A and B are shown apart, each in its own frame.
Chain A
């Protein structure tokens, strides 16, 4: 019978020949796709800011007040003659303000970050207004507060809307400053300050603090909480030139000052302490020298922790003071006017040459500069409600749409220490969100890197010795039957969902470890001793050459040693704790070493994460060892090598590539593991390698914070960046494992 080709088999073969490589390519494409996606989400963090011109309206009437219409994204302004205009669709539209159609305004200012504008009229009326899109869709003016002041001459003002909704303003006229605001039943108080050479004023958003820049270059800080009784609380030292522009950023923690030369600096409120030395000699606390019998007021850097008990130095409150904390890139010309964002720490300064510079305070970066179109000073600048628009006035209105979505992120903010508001100095901090608008997001990646490395390191310290020893034993020493059930059961460990491991670690193991801390410590110290003792004792037992040792007897020996150690540790634990640690090891650690033992800590994570990693390392290592050709081991044994010598000099070198790959893959698994660390690590983003406190890993930060991150916001992109970094980390680990594995394979492959 002639051979008939099996058409079906040929067909299937052809399909398979296409599908199988196709599947492989698909996987490669998927991995590359993930990489491209991660990169494309993270890249916009580092794109420079840009401004797209929007409106350009010439208006000879000048501009006293300039701000944005709430809910519309278009500017409005008041001319020097008192005409109100809204910049709609390229041409000014008149605005009607009942009661304010007539009357000449003398000064105006945006009311801090409260999205309102204060306008002072020649007849003494002070109007606090907001121009907004009303419910019916039309644009209208809301009068938020109205006060009557004594009729003012031409002046400049700084204004805010306080917590009760009242306007508080500071009037600067001929070098004198008057602070005005509601004062109890008497109505509005107007109190002149003892200043004759003021150049610029800025009132804080709460209206409680007033900064006055003087001709001398100094800046006085006044407490004006009680408008009728202002108190000078601090004088900031003079810079190289008189300050011409002052403003408080959102949150009132930072004061921006810019001067006649274009230098821009930031001053931040810092809590101080008073250190008083009653002793006979100078004492240095944290680098701050306290003279004998004297006292100093310094920034509070936790001096309390560093003062020896019963020492000569006492610590007391030192109040809040402004300290120079930030410097910015110099402007092209003298600073003329400033606007602050009501969404973040952005501010814009208009200079005498007509340019506008937008800065972000936290990262000290110059986001962008808008070049002048005419060589005239900028009279006013204003941010839109969302901080995504900016308008400036030189001899007419120009406005731009800003594309500056991530001013809070830069390479230096991610990697360098930053001095954040109300901190005592530069620090690496991860504290990405808060419930209020005026706090700075803090995106230092180091605490997350450190947490990932810490968790991984402790996991490997715990798992590598156990997994490798188990692999060697099962593959080479143990009775042949052992492997048949040990290997599947260890591999079964890998099947336990990590959330279960994490839950057991967090809810059951954590309190157990905490209570039995001394027992574990004693056990750890005893184990080598008991082992050495066991080896010594078994060595003394005379070996009977006529009888083979029982297979697996050593396993029983090891179990006996472990049980003995546990028993000894359990009985010795409490007496040792009483004898050496005053009955409470945790307390002793805290009292003598100032170590705060956290119940969710690195040790615990090491065990839990190690438990998850053991199967990975064991399986690959065991395969590698078993695959060493029997001819090699037989030869070694035949030449008279002991079993250990065979393992040490023949099997381990031959299997080294596999063992290395096992450890690296275990490392990758530990670095990427999420649920265990989320549950057992306490998620404290700290930079401390100690085993007694917790950590927050890259993966845990992603898992915890991605649901709260607005899509395409800074946090969202930073989390994707951490994902990219983790991806790159594990990918490079795997590559290293592959390369080293290949090299070792080539080296030993010849054997």
Chain B
């Protein structure tokens, strides 16, 4: 048996290192059209963030950045998945609910039944949801129909056979008969929901998807499993895995998960990361929350987005999102 203490130590260090995300696209910069954050007087209180795991590192970095501006503000972060945001907002356990998918109408109802009105979703960053394989995997690209046949048991994409070996995807040689080992997120995750809605055509995941509590664990699973495949936010890309270029259909062109392709909508799994907050003026609203969201949409906030491996908003988007804060 070829194991030793060093290996054990290495995997511990490895898992720790994963929490430090690798910058996906070093060339990204924040558009100069996005203004620097302007400090406002008299801001204090608590920012309690509960929600998306995709935003876990982002939330922490944002929190640190915000605390630098307002040292007397307390920031707490709990990132167990987007679906944890609506219950936390409803009970006012959290006042900022980051989500990596849009809130479902039913979840809106949950919050509205406690607040008396619906929460406001503000887009704060761009993510290209990536399909990861091991770095030594020769697979070139995938279409939604094939992704659906790999991950889903309902195969609503219409592929007529289940894909369970790499040979089914056209890989030859030693890969031909190797079973595909599937990693995914748990159902609380917005990434899970987004992937299910788009890549699985709203179908159901196979029971054999190994559900991991965080995207870091998905990426680590794939990095250690030569025959693994998984999905997650591009911010979690590490040298051990490769993000596969995707096309929506067999006829469509194939695009890499880059900033340009995400902005233009050519990469088919681009999405917004959002925060849900209470912006209703007067009742319940907290100026510190509004300032926090303004900070996220500032130059500093967007630089943090890039630092964490996600993609920044454009000035046009920022203007549109800031308007939501001023609405009654």
Binding site for B on A (CB under 8 A): 135, 251, 271, 273-274, 300, 302, 304-305, 315-320, 342-344, 386, 420, 422-423, 429, 431-439, 442, 447, 507-508, 511-512, 515-516, 519, 570, 586-587, 590-591, 596, 598-600, 678, 682-686, 693-694, 704-705, 707-711, 713
List the 7 shortest-distance A-B pairs measured between CB atoms, nearest first. Answer: A435-B193, A708-B83, A708-B188, A304-B161, A317-B160, A422-B154, A686-B207
Is B65 located at the chain interface by the 8 A CB criterion?
A: no
Is B291 located at the chain interface by the 8 A CB criterion?
A: no
Do B197 and A135 touch across chains, with their CB atoms under 8 A apart? no
Is B261 located at the chain interface by the 8 A CB criterion?
A: no
Q: Known: A507-B11, A570-B1. Contact between A300 and B84, CB under 8 A?
A: no
Query: Interface residues of B toward A: which range?
Result: 35 or more
Do A710 and B208 touch across chains, with their CB atoms under 8 A apart? no
Do B209 and A435 touch across chains, with their CB atoms under 8 A apart? no
Q: Known: A590-B179, A596-B208. Contact between A708 and B192, CB under 8 A?
A: no
In the assembled complex, the Cα of A704 lies from the Cα of B196 at a distance in Å of: 18
For the complex with contacts A435-B82, A519-B1, A590-B178, 18 further pairs of A-B residues with Cβ separation under 8 Å are A135-B327, A317-B159, A343-B106, A344-B106, A386-B109, A431-B204, A433-B193, A434-B193, A435-B101, A435-B196, A511-B224, A599-B225, A600-B210, A684-B209, A705-B186, A707-B81, A707-B83, A708-B187
Is B231 located at the chain interface by the 8 A CB criterion?
A: no
Residue from A251, A435, A438 in contact with B190 in the complex, judged by beta carbons closer than 8 Å: A435
Do B160 and A433 touch across chains, with their CB atoms under 8 A apart? no
B156 contacts which chain A residues (CB < 8 A)? 271, 422
B161 contacts which chain A residues (CB < 8 A)? 304, 315
Do A508 and B210 touch across chains, with their CB atoms under 8 A apart? no
B158 contacts which chain A residues (CB < 8 A)? 271, 317, 319-320
In the assembled complex, the Cα of A539 lies from the Cα of B1 at a distance in Å of: 32
Do A431 and B205 touch across chains, with their CB atoms under 8 A apart? yes
A705 contacts which chain B residues (CB < 8 A)? 186-188
In the assembled complex, the Cα of A683 lies from the Cα of B188 at a distance in Å of: 13
In the assembled complex, the Cα of A693 lies from the Cα of B206 at a distance in Å of: 13
Q: Known: A436-B104, A519-B1, A708-B81. Contact between A683 and B86, CB under 8 A?
A: no
Do A507 and B188 touch across chains, with their CB atoms under 8 A apart? no
Residue from A251, A434, A598, A683 in contact with B181 in the complex, judged by beta carbons closer than 8 Å: A598
Please encode chain B, from 5 to 19, with 1 for each CB lying within 8 Å of some chain A CB and 0 for all others: 001100110010000
Is B300 located at the chain interface by the 8 A CB criterion?
A: no
In the assembled complex, the Cα of A298 lies from the Cα of B15 at a distance in Å of: 47
Residue of B101, B211, B224 with highest tally of chain A CB at under 10 A:
B211
B319 contacts which chain A residues (CB < 8 A)? none
Do A439 and B202 touch across chains, with their CB atoms under 8 A apart? yes
Residue from B186, B202, B204, B209 in contact with A704 in the complex, judged by beta carbons closer than 8 Å: B186
Residue from B15, B84, B186 in contact with A507 in the complex, judged by beta carbons closer than 8 Å: B15
Do B210 and A318 touch across chains, with their CB atoms under 8 A apart? no
Residue from B3, B80, B107, B110 in contact with A707 in the complex, judged by beta carbons closer than 8 Å: B80
In the assembled complex, the Cα of A460 lies from the Cα of B112 at a distance in Å of: 48
Do A713 and B193 touch across chains, with their CB atoms under 8 A apart? no
Shortest CB distance B205–A (Å) = 7
Shortest CB distance B221–A (Å) = 8
Shortest CB distance A109–B (Å) = 21
Shortest CB distance B267–A (Å) = 19
Do B207 and A343 touch across chains, with their CB atoms under 8 A apart? no
Q: Known: A315-B161, A422-B204. Contact between A435 and B104, CB under 8 A?
A: yes
In the assembled complex, the Cα of A686 lies from the Cα of B209 at a distance in Å of: 10
Shortest CB distance A445–B (Å) = 15
Chain A residue at smallest Cβ distance from B191: A435
Chain B residue at smallest Cβ distance from A442: B204
Chain A residue at smallest Cβ distance from B206: A684
A508 contacts which chain B residues (CB < 8 A)? 3, 7-8, 11
Do B186 and A429 touch across chains, with their CB atoms under 8 A apart? no
A694 contacts which chain B residues (CB < 8 A)? 210
Do B162 and A302 touch across chains, with their CB atoms under 8 A apart? yes
A678 contacts which chain B residues (CB < 8 A)? 213
Chain B residue at smallest Cβ distance from A317: B160
In the assembled complex, the Cα of A598 lies from the Cα of B227 at a distance in Å of: 11
Do A437 and B3 touch across chains, with their CB atoms under 8 A apart? no
29 contacts between A and B (CB under 8 A): A271-B155, A271-B158, A300-B160, A304-B160, A304-B162, A305-B164, A315-B161, A317-B158, A317-B160, A318-B160, A319-B158, A342-B105, A386-B109, A431-B205, A435-B82, A435-B197, A436-B104, A436-B197, A439-B196, A439-B204, A447-B207, A507-B12, A519-B1, A683-B210, A705-B188, A709-B87, A710-B87, A710-B107, A713-B110
In the assembled complex, the Cα of A434 lies from the Cα of B81 at a distance in Å of: 12
Do B193 and A436 touch across chains, with their CB atoms under 8 A apart? yes
Binding site for A on B (CB under 8 A): 1-3, 7-8, 11-12, 15, 80-84, 86-87, 90-91, 101, 104-107, 109-110, 153-156, 158-162, 164-165, 177-179, 181, 186-188, 190, 192-194, 196-197, 202-205, 207-211, 213, 221, 224-225, 327-328
In the assembled complex, the Cα of A683 lies from the Cα of B1 at a distance in Å of: 27
A429 contacts which chain B residues (CB < 8 A)? 204
Shortest CB distance A684–B (Å) = 5
A707 contacts which chain B residues (CB < 8 A)? 80-81, 83-84, 87, 188
B328 contacts which chain A residues (CB < 8 A)? 135
Residue from B8, B177, B181, B202 in contact with A436 in the complex, judged by beta carbons closer than 8 Å: B202
Do B202 and A432 touch across chains, with their CB atoms under 8 A apart? no
Do B187 and A434 touch across chains, with their CB atoms under 8 A apart? yes
Do A433 and B178 touch across chains, with their CB atoms under 8 A apart? no
Shortest CB distance A521–B (Å) = 13
Do B91 and A251 touch across chains, with their CB atoms under 8 A apart? no
A302 contacts which chain B residues (CB < 8 A)? 162
A710 contacts which chain B residues (CB < 8 A)? 86-87, 90, 106-107, 110
Chain A residue at smallest Cβ distance from B9: A508
Do B155 and A300 touch across chains, with their CB atoms under 8 A apart? yes
In the assembled complex, the Cα of A439 lies from the Cα of B147 at a distance in Å of: 19
Residue of B81, B153, B160, B194 with highest tally of chain A CB at under 10 A:
B160
Do A433 and B210 touch across chains, with their CB atoms under 8 A apart? no
Chain B residue at smallest Cβ distance from A681: B210
A693 contacts which chain B residues (CB < 8 A)? 208
A447 contacts which chain B residues (CB < 8 A)? 207
Do B203 and A683 touch across chains, with their CB atoms under 8 A apart? no
Do B181 and A684 touch across chains, with their CB atoms under 8 A apart? no
Do B1 and A516 touch across chains, with their CB atoms under 8 A apart? yes
A342 contacts which chain B residues (CB < 8 A)? 105
In the assembled complex, the Cα of A596 lies from the Cα of B187 at a distance in Å of: 23
Shortest CB distance A137–B (Å) = 10
In the assembled complex, the Cα of A657 lies from the Cα of B151 at a distance in Å of: 49
Shortest CB distance B212–A (Å) = 8
Residue of A342, A507, A511, A512 with highest tally of chain B CB at under 10 A:
A507
In the assembled complex, the Cα of A682 lies from the Cα of B213 at a distance in Å of: 10
Q: Known: A439-B202, A684-B208. Contact between A512 and B177, CB under 8 A?
A: no
Residue from B7, B190, B211 in contact with A683 in the complex, judged by beta carbons closer than 8 Å: B211
Chain B residue at smallest Cβ distance from A388: B109
Shortest CB distance B325–A (Å) = 14
Shortest CB distance A290–B (Å) = 15
In the assembled complex, the Cα of A429 lies from the Cα of B1 at a distance in Å of: 38
Q: Known: A431-B205, A710-B87. Contact between A598 and B105, CB under 8 A?
A: no
Chain A residue at smallest Cβ distance from B160: A317
Residue from B2, B84, B196 in contact with A434 in the complex, judged by beta carbons closer than 8 Å: B196
Do A431 and B187 touch across chains, with their CB atoms under 8 A apart? yes
Q: Known: A271-B156, A708-B83, A708-B188. Contact between A343 and B3, CB under 8 A?
A: no
Shortest CB distance B223–A (Å) = 11
In the assembled complex, the Cα of A587 lies from the Cα of B180 at a distance in Å of: 11
B193 contacts which chain A residues (CB < 8 A)? 433-436
In the assembled complex, the Cα of A709 lies from the Cα of B328 at a distance in Å of: 30
Shortest CB distance A408–B (Å) = 11
Q: Known: A343-B105, A515-B2, A684-B211. Contact between A433 and B179, CB under 8 A?
A: no
Do A686 and B187 touch across chains, with their CB atoms under 8 A apart? no
In the assembled complex, the Cα of A343 lies from the Cα of B110 at a distance in Å of: 12
Q: Known: A304-B162, A315-B161, A508-B8. Contact between A435 and B192, CB under 8 A?
A: yes
